[in-house]
Structure 1
């Protein structure tokens, strides 16, 4: 009994000494965070004059306008009513932005941890009309991996940049946060490689109600709902009042989710291990139906009729050396998902389908266009290819193809499939690169 009492006393004394111990600090050269306060973040939405495209992300089309994400900074707006001569209208500043979707005159966008709703009926006088705060994961921008990360204090705001300087911080004994070399949002933009009726894409193509996104989208519209997805969670918002999105909740749908595509009242998710299918019969509560498994690889998906087209590519976190197009036959209720055919590719990323015409962004191998009327003979029916560009994502719509790649924005006319023509380009600025 005496021994036990001494032991307890020793533990108490050690705990007391530990509580009185001075904090320990370390000093090193590292990435010191540069913050934007939450107040500044939530008053930063504005239309600016047109600026050069430098770091393009995803692409979106609505009512003769193309919207091109400038990763983590905002959205370029192009008027393409004259496809041969696109006009650069302006730049919507949205700090921390990667994805958008547009219903009627309201643009929805991620802004670091927030969802914002912006009225764009007058592009000369846009207005933030709604915001859901603290809904998305806290993100940090790309940093210099040659240096350690300094400690991040989320109470100070969002991290918008880094400065290499001497960092002094307390040594954490039991916990030290881990941050990625790219921000969570940038991972959402880039790891998916870089949806709509006719084009079959996220957001739909119902007249002027919805815009149309590319195959790399993580935002999608269906009826009175906005759906967004991150690496593992699906978020649902009610938007019957367009200017006041209401969060309905989120649910885990697995890991390594990369893209989302809406078609025929269903959600199709591309992940690094397969394609997931969810029903939207109950819009506020998407429900799991089935999955198609494949080898670990990055995976955007587009769907038309009873076929899903899935591109798999390697590189980075995308797994083993697999570069191919998979064509999947689906039963009417999506309970049966069977591989119909696979085709070897160079390094395929985004893709689009319009009727019998399949467009594939094949990385350094360029844009490839196929007649897909016979899904068993796609590779034998190549209509055209444009090999001198590194392509990222496409939107085919009404005989025009909008494409984004390392070289900038490209607009093609494919009304004559025997003479697919590049009408115009807007190159990426090399200034400061």
Structure 2
């Protein structure tokens, strides 16, 4: 049976129209925020039994305990009194948490826009003792890296917080890629003492009676003379897209995607900008020993350019830091040092050890290539290293690392 001419014309027009529409639209990965009201969010902090880690974040050491953050969910407490057999003993549920810092048994943790204080003097009975609300005005929403858009259309910035994300595929009109919104802040070795030690990816630092925290562009200063009741003293612009913070010789060194910023702590409550060392775009933790800063730049994905390197920066003149040497790496993350040894976490390429006796000519002395290395804490008697799903501990055996234990987190 022959098709009627009018019907045939309508079908042809329809097909042509669809082809035209398809040229203007595409299927994209859209991140939808899963939200919670601030009132409910603030009630959800709890001390729970030990549990597996979903997304390994950062590492922190205090006395005989290791704290490992489960990114944006909480903190695992590991009893490390026997490094050969560490044991998970508790979990602090802290929605929106990224970093912690501890002094004299008081643990400070961010919870989205808030700062929460815990008394951990009895590790079996941790207590929340204070909460400073809305002190972090610029909140990193941590939009998933595989998302092409973030849909905030139903998000109430005043009364809600983002606790997680789900990604859906949606058919959307094509736009200029330069307008896409990704993870962007625009939405936005210590001496043994009573203060714990964080890794190079840390954004919290306790120095004397102050807690310094850095967000993507803001430095927040808290007076912790009264440890149980900190006072928010100051907020100041710190730079662009800041990711990490390191303290050495009365200065803060902030690692950002486009450079390293140096701030003097001559006035503790008002850090003073000294200088910036500019580099190409890349994820950038930094550590400092004497006249040299060591920083890694990880390229690719959302971090920036494709090349990944370890850079040695001469900071003899802190007002004019200069590049001293550069070493090619694969996909570096955190780093740390003890004595003449520099420990560099090179992601899927493992842990690499360098002799930095001559900072201008680093010599690789050891490598562990069968592990994923994310960050390290070189302690007095051992090296802690966090990977994708495991905590590794090494002893310093005749200037070479020797594995003590592997603690699986899943």
- TM-score relative to the length of structure 2: 0.84
Q: Please state how far the C-alpha of 1:50 moved relative to its aligned partner.
A: 0.7
Tell me how far apart the structure 2 counterparts of residues 335 and 300 of structure 1 sit (CA, whole Å): 20
Q: Is 1:326 matched up with 2:329?
A: no
Aligned counterpart, 1:47: 47
Aligned counterpart, 2:253: 268
The number of residue pairs the alignment matches comes to 371
Q: Is 1:422 matched up with 2:409?
A: no
Tell me how far apart the structure 2 counterparts of residues 274 and 159 of structure 1 sit (CA, whole Å): 29
Tell me how far apart the structure 1 counterparts of residues 286 and 158 of structure 2 sit (CA, whole Å): 38
Structure 1's 291 and 54: CA in aligned 2 closer, same or farther, altered over 3 A?
Answer: same
Q: Is the 8 A contact 2:117 2:129 kept in 1?
A: yes
Tell me how far apart the structure 2 counterparts of residues 32 and 321 of structure 1 sit (CA, whole Å): 28
Q: Is the 8 A contact 1:141 1:159 kept in 2?
A: no
The CA deviation string for residues 209-237 of structure 1, in whole angstroms up to 9 with x for no partner, is 21101001111111111111111111111
Where 1:398 maps in the other structure, the secondary structure is: coil
Structure 1 runs not aligned, ≥5 long: 1-28, 168-177, 189-198
Aligned counterpart, 2:35: 35
Structure 1's 164 and 372: CA in aligned 2 closer, same or farther, altered over 3 A?
Answer: closer
Q: Is the 8 A contact 2:299 2:331 kept in 1?
A: yes
Tell me how far apart the structure 2 counterparts of residues 218 and 120 of structure 1 sit (CA, whole Å): 21
Structure 1's 256 and 33: CA in aligned 2 closer, same or farther, altered over 3 A?
Answer: closer
Aligned counterpart, 2:221: 236
Structure 1's 327 and 164: CA in aligned 2 closer, same or farther, altered over 3 A?
Answer: closer
Structure 1's 355 and 45: CA in aligned 2 closer, same or farther, altered over 3 A?
Answer: same
Q: Please state how far the C-alpha of 1:270 moved relative to its aligned partner.
A: 0.9
Aligned counterpart, 1:109: 109
Q: Is the 8 A contact 1:205 1:211 kept in 2?
A: no
Where 1:50 maps in the other structure, the secondary structure is: coil
Tell me how far apart the structure 1 counterparts of residues 392 and 357 of structure 2 sit (CA, whole Å): 25
TM superposition outliers: structure 1 runs of 4+ over 3 Å:
29-35, 138-148, 161-165, 178-185
Q: Is the 8 A contact 1:114 1:131 kept in 2?
A: yes
Tell me how far apart the structure 2 counterparts of residues 161 and 377 of structure 1 sit (CA, whole Å): 44
Q: Is the 8 A contact 1:227 1:236 kept in 2?
A: yes
Tell me how far apart the structure 1 counterparts of residues 164 and 223 of structure 2 sit (CA, whole Å): 33
Q: Please state how far the C-alpha of 1:154 moved relative to its aligned partner.
A: 3.2
Where 2:40 maps in the other structure, the secondary structure is: helix
Structure 1's 300 and 32: CA in aligned 2 closer, same or farther, altered over 3 A?
Answer: closer
Q: Please state how far the C-alpha of 1:98 moved relative to its aligned partner.
A: 0.5
Please give the residue correspondences for 1:62-211 in structure 2 after superposition, counting only pairs within 5 Å: 62-136=62-136, 137-138=138-139, 140=141, 142=143, 145=147, 149=151, 150-161=153-164, 199=189, 204-207=190-193, 209-211=194-196
Structure 2 runs not aligned, ≥5 long: 1-28, 171-178
Aligned counterpart, 2:338: 354
Where 1:42 maps in the other structure, the secondary structure is: helix
- TM-score relative to the length of structure 1: 0.79
Tell me how far apart the structure 1 counterparts of residues 180 and 115 of structure 2 sit (CA, whole Å): 22
Aligned counterpart, 1:14: none
Q: Please state how far the C-alpha of 1:346 moved relative to its aligned partner.
A: 1.6
Q: Is 1:277 matched up with 2:262?
A: yes
Structure 1's 62 and 180: CA in aligned 2 closer, same or farther, altered over 3 A?
Answer: farther
Q: Please state how far the C-alpha of 1:37 moved relative to its aligned partner.
A: 2.6
